[in-house]
Structures are given as C-alpha cells and as structure tokens.
Structure 1
Amino acid sequence: SIGLWIVSMIRTGSNRNLCMEHIKQLFHILRSYFYPSNDGNLGNFFSLLQRIPEALIERIRFEKLDKYEWLRKDRQPESFIQDSDIEQLVVCMRDIVLKALFSKTLFNDAIKTYQYLCFLRPDLMLPVLIDQVYSSFESNVEPHRYTPLLACLVSVPRELVIFDEKIQNQKHILNLLISVVPGIDLNDLNKLILTFQFLTNILSHIIVLDCSPAIELRNDLSDYEKEICQMTSNFDDFAHTLFDKLFNFVDHLKNDNTSEVCDTVSQANYYSRINSTLSNENVTQVHCVEMFKVLISQSSKQILRLITEKCFKFINGRAFNTKSGDILAYLIGYLVVSGYARQAFELYFNYVYDNLMGFKKLKNFNSLLQNERVDPTILWNLHLFSFLAKTNGPILVQNIDRIKEILQAYRLTTNKECISHMTTCYSNLITSLTKITPKETCSVGYNIIFDDNNNFFTKHLPIRDWGLYIEPKSLNIEYHIPNVQEISTALEITNSVLTDSMTFLRKSILGLYSTKKEDSNSNKFSKEDNYRELNYIYHVVNGASCLLKRPNTQKYVTEHIDSVVNIGLKEEVNKGLGFEADNIKDESHEYFSLCESDRNILLNMRKDLIEFCMKLIEKLVDDKSNDTIMLILLSRVSNLGV
C-alpha cells in the first residue's frame, strides 16, 4: 500500500522529478537497515523494497497496454513513467538489493525485488550480479554467497538468455551452465535443488545446438553473433561434464539403500500401481527428471546422440535399484520419444531383449520368476522395458513381435515388483499405440532435428530465438495420429491379454472358492495369481480406454448416470473423447478398413468384461469370501468398464 502510494506519485505535481528525488533520498537513508544481519521488525523494510518495483511494473502496464487505454484517456503525456525514471529507480535500489540478498531470513523478498528490477532494466542489474556470481563460484572463501546468488539466477532465466547485442548476456550462458555443474552434490540439498532448477530454467529458454556452421554459411552475422555461434560449439563439452556428474550422482543413489521400500509396504501397494512414478517425497529425483525432460526436448540430433551413447555406456552390464533406476529409466524414456527416438529405441531395446531372453534359456527360469526376491538384473531390465514402451507407435509396431516374446515369457511371474513393471509396460504400450502425440516438443516454431546444415542455417539462426516468446499458434505443431496398423496392434494386444486373464480367472476362481471335490485339482492357483491377472486386466483396460466402446444403450446420459442436470444426448457427450467408435462405420475414414475381429473387440470387449466381473463378484459373494483385495480389484476393473 505504501509502495503503491509512492509509485503513484511519480511524475505528478508541478515538479515532475520531485517524487523521484525523495525516493532516492529515502533509500539512501534506509540503506543501513538492509544489511544481512538485520532481522526482526526490520522485515517491513524488505516488504517495502519488494513492493515499489512491483507497483512500478503494474503502472507501466496500465500506461502502455491497449486494453487500459480508457484509464489514460485524459492524462497528459508528461505524467507517464519515463525511461529516465525507471533508470533512476533501478540504480538507487540496485546496491541495496544486492546486499539484502544475503539476509538469512528475508532473502526471498530481496530475490523477488531483484527479479522485478531485472524485468525493468536487465542491462543495469545483470552485469553486476554476473560478476558476483563468477567470484563466488570460483572462490571457496565465501560458500554462503553461492546459494542466494544462484537463486537470483534461477529467477531471471529469460533475461539472461535473451538475444540483445547491447546487453550481451548470452556470452555468459555456457560458462554459467558449466560452473553450476559441481553444485550437483548430495551433501547440500538446497544447493542441489537450486542447481537443477537453474539448469532446467536456462535449458528451457535456449536451443542446445551447435550453431558454429552458420559462421561460414551466412554473411549477415555481426561480430557478437559470430562469437555466440562459436561458443555454442562447446555444448558437447557441457553435455559430457553434466552427465559425468549426473552419473556420479546416480552411483551415490545406487549405493544408498536407506529409502528402499520394505517388503510389507510393497506387498500392500503393488496391485494399485498404475504407472511407475517418482515419489513426491524425493524432491531431488523429481528435479533431476524434469531437467532431463527439458534438456532432451531442446537438444539437437548431435547432442541427443551423445546423451544416448553416453547413457548406454553407463548402464551396459549393470543393474540399478529402484531409487537410482527411476532416474535412468525416465532419461531413457524421454530419449525414445525425442527426435532421436528410433536410434535410441533400437540401441536400448536390443540390449534389454538380449538380457531378458537370455534369462529364459536358464533351466531354473520358471523358479526365478516365482521367487519373492528376483535377480536385480531381471528387475532392472523389466523396469527399463516398461519405459521403452513409451516410444512412438510406428516404432512399437515395427518391433511388436519381439515385444510380445518378452511379455509372454514374463507374464506368469508372481514376484510383486516384476508384476508392477509388467503392468506398467502393458499400460504404456497400449497408450503409446493409441494416443495422439506432438511430433516436435521444442520451444521454437521449426524442427531442430535436421541433417542438412546448409539448408537449416540459411533459414534459421537459433541464438536469435533464445528466450523469445512465441505465440502457441506460431509454433506450427504437427501431431501424430495413430494409423490403422497401430490401432489394430493395440486391439490385438488388448484382446490377447484380456482373453487369457479372463480364461485363467474362470478356472481359478471356481477352483479356489468351490467346496466340491471334483474341483480340488484347481487349487494349484494361488490368490497371488488371481491378483496378477486382475492387475493385467485393469492396466490394459486403462490404457485402451479410448478404444473400447462403452456399453451404454440408453438414449440419454441421465438414464445411465444419476444427475439433477439434464446432460443431454449420449452421442453429443461422446464427441471429442478420443477414438470415436462411429469412425469405423464411415467409409471415408481410415479406420473403416479395420478387420471384423478388431471391430468386434472395439465394440463388445468392454461389455463382455463387465459381465465377466459381475459373475466373479456374484461368485465371491455367494461363497462369502473374505478376500478383500480381490473384491477391491474387481470393483476397480468394473469402474473402468462402465
């Protein structure tokens, strides 16, 4: 309120500069109150420090945006904020803010203030901060300065990377990226998280691409642009440095068994796992995975090849536990959906296929799958296999025969972790075959995966697009829509798994819960086998939910769902919900060419599944079963079928 009042008086009255003079005198007097050692009631001064530049930004928006033209209709031009006013305010607050950054309790207000001032005049704020950052990163005398300075950099990524020959901040980007890599250290959690955040924010605003060929191919480059293009040739070195440190980080996690899930918790929760996700409690892994995602989406083909080969050398011949394996699995999962997807998938899938099918040749293979503690190599390869199933549909169709071999070989496992990976694989596999996905996820409106340097760099210069805001409509996003072959493959897998599981459960439930002597030979089926099959059904139906037509015969939705609101015709509600079953009846549509068996699966499988679940539930109720887990799983499957 006070800050807003002060900013509102700028450029008012007969003396337009009087208010700004008072502001400069005010902060000159209050300078000593912003020293890092001051705290307690002095925190109100930090709030004032933040509010003044924030209010100034709001006022500038009101004075410049067209939608607020009615607010300034009768105002004199002299009363508007001038560039000189912004410069004077930034200069008078700059030194105070840079000192306040090191406050132990109120540094968040100072960081926010720095961000606002940087929005106003990055040319005045960033050079001073970058000088302090370099001195802090290179010196071991003042390690306490590292964290607040890095937090400041995290808050202004766009201002750091934006192309501006006057400020010339781009030339510091690669040095800063390499300088923060040593911050990936498990001994300092705060520094570790800030390092991942900085890498994520910067990488999301730049294109990790070697632009040095543009120096010879273009004749319109300034000396500064040539310098930046030459600098980008060192992105390979940055990738090597980053992943060497990250793999060292993964090795530390691999040797740390303190967070391993105990057997009791695993047994209680394995059946409810839909997708392999990182725990929200493990913040470091979440930030690391997010950084991987951004880096891969913003990288060129050359960098993706480097990451793929470097990661493969690291995992080759090794097995990882859940804690460290999740990070690597997510990294590989992002690689197999990137612009280098086909090459990455072939490399890793051949490796996983050879490992998993090699175990099948062992004489004790079946007993291995029944053990409570399976060989860690099997678990790791199944874990990796489940993430490889996230790749693009055409790649999966091309390798579907070998994928089916693995699924068939490990389908009857009773180990809970193996079942968890298998169910994740089924869900990811069917989802990847049926979902509509963007072909390019980069933040610019052109494809950075190319083979012809001459053609690309004559049309584009990525360094000019660093930090540039682009309207979503200008991105020209192209989408991959599943073709008939992908839909047919997904329906085939769905039908195979559901048919096998329902056949198994018909035999098993009858033998397990019947008291007749003639059914005693069915007692070889255990409850764990039943849980496994219901898990397969649940995850397969969940992945294929956009394909299988819902068995609603009512004309109005309100006849099927209790509601006080008249929802309307069922046909209207079904529109736009993914795969429309009516497409198979349209002769002009590609899906009209689906064979009769696929049509039957698409139209009737969900209905058959509901009827099957109802029979199983009736059987359990009649036998007065106390198997709560079985009933829970059946209810979940039934809910998916409705």
Structure 2
Amino acid sequence: MIFNFVFFFLLYRERKANPVWYFTPPDAYRLTEQNITDFVNCVKECAFIAIFTKAYLKEAAKACQYLSMLRPELIVPPLVEKLFSSIDSMSEPHRFTSIMTCLASLARQIVRQAPHFSQGQTYVLPLLMAVLPGIDSNDFKKTAVTFQFLNAMLMLVTCVDCSSAIHTRNDLTEIEKEVCLSTAKFEDFVTEFLNRTFQMIDTLSTEMSDAVVVITKVNLEDHVTELALTSMMFGIVQQCSKKIFQTVREKITNFLAGSFFTPKVGKLVTGLVRAILKANPEETLKYLLPQTCERIENIMSHSETTILTDHKGDTELTWCLILFSELVRARGDTLLIYKPIILSVFHRCVRIVHKDTHEAVANAAKNLLKSLSYVYPLEYRLTVENIEEPFTDFLPIR
C-alpha cells in the first residue's frame, strides 16, 4: 500500500509539478506509460487478493482506487466480474461485501469517460441492478455496504433515460449507444430499489424488538441506515428526469397513504420524504401536505376531548405530526400557500400533553421557523443543462 502511494505520488510530481518551485526531471528519467502499465500489472493481483482479507480490506480498497486512477482498464473490469460471480455464491457471502466495498471507492473511474477506458459506463446499470439483493433487513453489514456502493454511484450519475438519443444524434460512438440504451433501465432500477426499501421498512416495523426502541436510544445501525437511505434517495431525485421523479413521488406517496409507522422505522420513512422534498418541494407538498393535515384534523375531530389530555397518546396522530414536521422543512416560499392549513394544525395540536406527540409539534414549529428564515438554493443538480429529451444540445451520459 505504501509503495503504491509512493509510485502514485512520484507520477503526480512528474506530470503536475510546478516549474517554479519544483525540479522537473528530464524526459529520459521520467516514468513512461509502459512503466505505469507494468507497475499496475505487478501490484494488482496482490491488491485483489488483499480485498478478501478482513484485516486489510480498507488498505486494499485504497490500493485499487489508486491503481484504477492509473489504469482503469486493468482494474475495473476484473473487479466487476468478481462481483457478478460472487452475487450467487451462497458459501462465501463475505466476497460480495468485500468486493462492493472496493468498488465503492472506484465509482468515479466507473462512471467517467477516460481516453483509454470509455466502457466503464456500460457497467453502471448492470451493477446497480445486480447489487439490489444486498438490501437485506436481516444482514446489516451487507445492507450498509450496498447502500455505500449505491450512494457512491448515484451521486455521480444522472438518472435519465437517454435511449432516444440514438435516434436524434449522429455523433455517438458504439459504446455511447450501448450506454444510452442501457439507461432505459433506470426507471426499473428506481422501482425495484423502492420496492426493496419498502419491504425492508415493513419487515423492521413488525419486529418484536420495535417495542423496545420506543423507550431506548436509536441504535447506531438505525442511524447509519437512515443517513445512507436519505443520501441515496437525494442522489437519485436531485438529478433525475421529471418522469423518474414522478415515479418516485407516486410510490412514496402510495406507501405513506393510510399508513403509520413506529419510531424504529419512522426515521427511514421521513428520510425518503426529506429527499424528495428537498429536490422538488412544490410537487412533494402538493401531494403530501394537504392530505397529512386533513388526516390530523380528522383524528383530532373524532377524539379531541380525550386526546389533548391523554398521556398515552395516539400512535397514528404522533406519526402524522412527525410527517407534518418533516414536510414543513420545505423551502419557505413553497410553504406560504399552505399557511391556513399549517396554522390550523398548530392551533389544534399545540396543547397536546403526550410527550412524543408534543415533541413532534415542537419540532414542526422549529422546522417551520427555519424554513421561513433561511436562504435556500433553488437547484441542487450537478449540471444546469436541460436533461430532458430530445438531447440535441446536451447528453447526460457525457
């Protein structure tokens, strides 16, 4: 690992040295392209073997990252093949998590178009689809590694179906045509990802241990899962097409309709809402805030005489107010048109004595004040170009 870093640093000093401050060696003494290739071929097998050693996985992943910067065509394809071969391996499940940990550090080399390695993008959709079975509520480590890999990839790609570009552009290479055709699977990926996420949430919400979480601190695993899930969902919706965002919004809205969740999984659900709310607050509020406020009003109307002073609380009301507090995190200007129903909820619920319910109301007030007083960016996308069809001026895969 140290030798690998020294070689990489030496190459950087030779190729990027400042002529004012650093000595520039003569061309005859510099590392040649063949030297770099020979070095990568010499070290890569040791790095590949080290991936499967528990004690040195991080060092192996870092070594593969450096090597992929030098020669991605020699590092990325073998590791991708190893991942595909490990997915169905029942006898060695640790191989799957080890290789995914390594590939997460190679995400940039996979998605970018390099002069000598442009086919990395052809692996993106197959990889995204292949790792989805790693979302397993019974195996936190595998789920965490899967989320880590998906997060690394989704922050670097634009989730847009570019398949129609092969009919509108005549400047595409064969690899670019293949990549454009593969992007037609983005919607399938998003749908399957959400289905597996919802399945995981449903499983967690029915576990016997859920009753304990109500009176104890949220454990580290739940917190890590919540952060990763929110980050992944935001990675998708902040730079996806309108069609894919609509699919995401509809599935999350349908999942929330008429349901309420316990504290253990509530944060996972609100994490999904927070992501789509940040990416497109207008449309998210349109389909969620009025329905949530109406649901709260109905609960209060049917039992207001007892619910205000009931120290046991109402689980459904508590969940609705938690969701309400999440929705008022939206950009301040998008909340103004909902002022009457927001104030109505506060007037009805501010006197509730149940601890968790009152805390949800307090959080809603805090989030609302922040939303109305903070300055927010209007766009979070990585590019300001138009990513919708017909792709005549801009192609998202480039």
* Structure 1 segment 414-563 matched on structure 2, within 5 A: 414-446=353-385, 448=387, 453-454=389-390, 457-464=391-398
**Compared with structure 1, are the counterparts of its residues 413 and 153 closer, same or farther at alpha carbon in structure 2 (3 Å cutoff)?**
same
- Between the aligned partners of 1:212 and 1:228, the Cα distance in structure 2 is 8
TM-score, length-scaled by structure 2: 0.94
| Amino acid of the structure 1 residue aligned with 2:86 | S
SS of equivalent residue, structure 1 residue 71: coil
Q: Post-superposition shift, 1:165?
A: 7.0
| Amino acid of the structure 1 residue aligned with 2:72 | P
Whether 2:340 is the aligned partner of 1:401: answer yes
Q: Post-superposition shift, 1:190?
A: 1.6
| Amino acid of the structure 1 residue aligned with 2:112 | I
Q: Is the 8 A contact 2:277 2:285 kept in 1?
A: yes
Q: Post-superposition shift, 1:279?
A: 6.2
**Compared with structure 1, are the counterparts of its residues 260 and 64 closer, same or farther at alpha carbon in structure 2 (3 Å cutoff)?**
farther
TM-score, length-scaled by structure 1: 0.59
| Amino acid of the structure 2 residue aligned with 1:337 | K
- Between the aligned partners of 1:264 and 1:96, the Cα distance in structure 2 is 49
Match of 1:93 in 2: 43
Match of 2:275 in 1: 334
Please identify, of 139-148 and 351-360, the stretch whose mean Cα deviation from structure 2 is larger.
139-148
Q: Post-superposition shift, 1:436?
A: 1.1
Q: Which digits, 9 at most, give the CA deviation of each residue in 1:26-78, with x for residues without a partner? A: xxxxxxxxxxxxxxxxxxxxxxxx111211111122112243653224x3211
SS of equivalent residue, structure 2 residue 22: helix
- Between the aligned partners of 1:436 and 1:159, the Cα distance in structure 2 is 35
Q: Which digits, 9 at most, give the CA deviation of each residue in 1:484-506, with x for residues without a partner? A: xxxxxxxxxxxxxxxxxxxxxxx
- Between the aligned partners of 2:136 and 2:70, the Cα distance in structure 1 is 34
Match of 1:130 in 2: 80
Please identify, of 163-172 and 147-156, the stretch whose mean Cα deviation from structure 2 is larger.
163-172
Q: Is the 8 A contact 2:226 2:271 kept in 1?
A: no
| Amino acid of the structure 2 residue aligned with 1:80 | R
Match of 1:389 in 2: 328
Q: Is the 8 A contact 2:234 2:279 kept in 1?
A: no
SS of equivalent residue, structure 2 residue 308: helix
**Compared with structure 1, are the counterparts of its residues 316 and 206 closer, same or farther at alpha carbon in structure 2 (3 Å cutoff)?**
same
- Between the aligned partners of 2:38 and 2:154, the Cα distance in structure 1 is 33
Unaligned residue ranges in structure 2 (runs of 5+): none
Match of 1:212 in 2: 163
| Amino acid of the structure 2 residue aligned with 1:89 | F
* Structure 1 segment 299-378 matched on structure 2, within 5 A: 299-339=240-280, 341-362=281-302, 364-378=303-317
- Between the aligned partners of 2:278 and 2:174, the Cα distance in structure 1 is 37
**Compared with structure 1, are the counterparts of its residues 161 and 225 closer, same or farther at alpha carbon in structure 2 (3 Å cutoff)?**
same
Q: Is the 8 A contact 1:200 1:291 kept in 2?
A: yes
- Between the aligned partners of 1:257 and 1:352, the Cα distance in structure 2 is 28
| Amino acid of the structure 1 residue aligned with 2:149 | F
Q: Which digits, 9 at most, give the CA deviation of each residue in 1:268-310, with x for residues without a partner? A: xxxxxxxxxx765632223222222322223222111111101
Match of 2:71 in 1: 121
* Structure 1 segment 602-621 matched on structure 2, within 5 A: none
- Between the aligned partners of 1:294 and 1:69, the Cα distance in structure 2 is 41
- Between the aligned partners of 1:217 and 1:434, the Cα distance in structure 2 is 45
**Compared with structure 1, are the counterparts of its residues 165 and 171 closer, same or farther at alpha carbon in structure 2 (3 Å cutoff)?**
farther
Residue from 75, 79, 103 that aligns with 2:29? 79
Q: Is the 8 A contact 2:277 2:284 kept in 1?
A: yes
**Compared with structure 1, are the counterparts of its residues 349 and 99 closer, same or farther at alpha carbon in structure 2 (3 Å cutoff)?**
same
Q: Post-superposition shift, 1:94?
A: 1.7
**Compared with structure 1, are the counterparts of its residues 263 and 148 closer, same or farther at alpha carbon in structure 2 (3 Å cutoff)?**
closer
Q: Post-superposition shift, 1:354?
A: 1.9
- Between the aligned partners of 2:114 and 2:22, the Cα distance in structure 1 is 32
- Between the aligned partners of 1:90 and 1:68, the Cα distance in structure 2 is 28
Match of 1:155 in 2: 105
| Amino acid of the structure 1 residue aligned with 2:45 | D
Match of 1:196 in 2: 147
Q: Is the 8 A contact 2:107 2:152 kept in 1?
A: yes
| Amino acid of the structure 2 residue aligned with 1:159 | Q
Q: Is the 8 A contact 1:280 1:286 kept in 2?
A: no
Q: Post-superposition shift, 1:438?
A: 0.9
- Between the aligned partners of 1:84 and 1:69, the Cα distance in structure 2 is 28
SS of equivalent residue, structure 1 residue 440: coil
Q: Which digits, 9 at most, give the CA deviation of each residue in 1:521-573, with x for residues without a partner? A: xxxxxxxxxxxxxxxxxxxxxxxxxxxxxxxxxxxxxxxxxxxxxxxxxxxxx
Whether 2:55 is the aligned partner of 1:112: answer no
Q: Is the 8 A contact 2:386 2:394 kept in 1?
A: no
| Structure with larger RCO (C-alpha < 8 A, sep 6+) | 2
- Between the aligned partners of 1:291 and 1:263, the Cα distance in structure 2 is 26
Q: Is the 8 A contact 1:200 1:295 kept in 2?
A: no
Question: Runs in 1 of length 4+ with deviation above 4 angstroms?
Answer: 259-266, 278-281
Q: Post-superposition shift, 1:254?
A: 0.9
**Compared with structure 1, are the counterparts of its residues 192 and 263 closer, same or farther at alpha carbon in structure 2 (3 Å cutoff)?**
closer
Whether 2:248 is the aligned partner of 1:297: answer no
- Between the aligned partners of 1:416 and 1:440, the Cα distance in structure 2 is 37
SS of equivalent residue, structure 1 residue 70: coil
| Amino acid of the structure 2 residue aligned with 1:323 | K
Q: Is the 8 A contact 1:386 1:422 kept in 2?
A: yes
**Compared with structure 1, are the counterparts of its residues 459 and 425 closer, same or farther at alpha carbon in structure 2 (3 Å cutoff)?**
same
- Between the aligned partners of 2:271 and 2:358, the Cα distance in structure 1 is 19
- Between the aligned partners of 1:260 and 1:443, the Cα distance in structure 2 is 42
Q: Is the 8 A contact 2:225 2:268 kept in 1?
A: no
- Between the aligned partners of 1:262 and 1:170, the Cα distance in structure 2 is 42
Q: Post-superposition shift, 1:108?
A: 2.6
- Between the aligned partners of 1:131 and 1:180, the Cα distance in structure 2 is 13
Q: Is the 8 A contact 1:440 1:447 kept in 2?
A: no
* Structure 1 segment 230-249 matched on structure 2, within 5 A: 230-249=181-200
- Between the aligned partners of 2:366 and 2:342, the Cα distance in structure 1 is 14
* Structure 1 segment 174-185 matched on structure 2, within 5 A: 174-185=125-136
- Between the aligned partners of 1:350 and 1:434, the Cα distance in structure 2 is 22
Q: Post-superposition shift, 1:157?
A: 0.6
Question: What is the number of residues matched between the two proteins?
Answer: 396
- Between the aligned partners of 2:135 and 2:363, the Cα distance in structure 1 is 30
| Amino acid of the structure 1 residue aligned with 2:137 | L
| Amino acid of the structure 1 residue aligned with 2:148 | Q
**Compared with structure 1, are the counterparts of its residues 262 and 460 closer, same or farther at alpha carbon in structure 2 (3 Å cutoff)?**
closer
**Compared with structure 1, are the counterparts of its residues 68 and 407 closer, same or farther at alpha carbon in structure 2 (3 Å cutoff)?**
farther
| Amino acid of the structure 1 residue aligned with 2:396 | P
Q: Greater Rg, structure 1 or structure 2?
A: 1
Q: Is the 8 A contact 1:115 1:156 kept in 2?
A: yes
- Between the aligned partners of 1:165 and 1:67, the Cα distance in structure 2 is 24
Q: Is the 8 A contact 1:319 1:377 kept in 2?
A: yes
Whether 2:8 is the aligned partner of 1:57: answer yes
Q: Post-superposition shift, 1:320?
A: 0.3
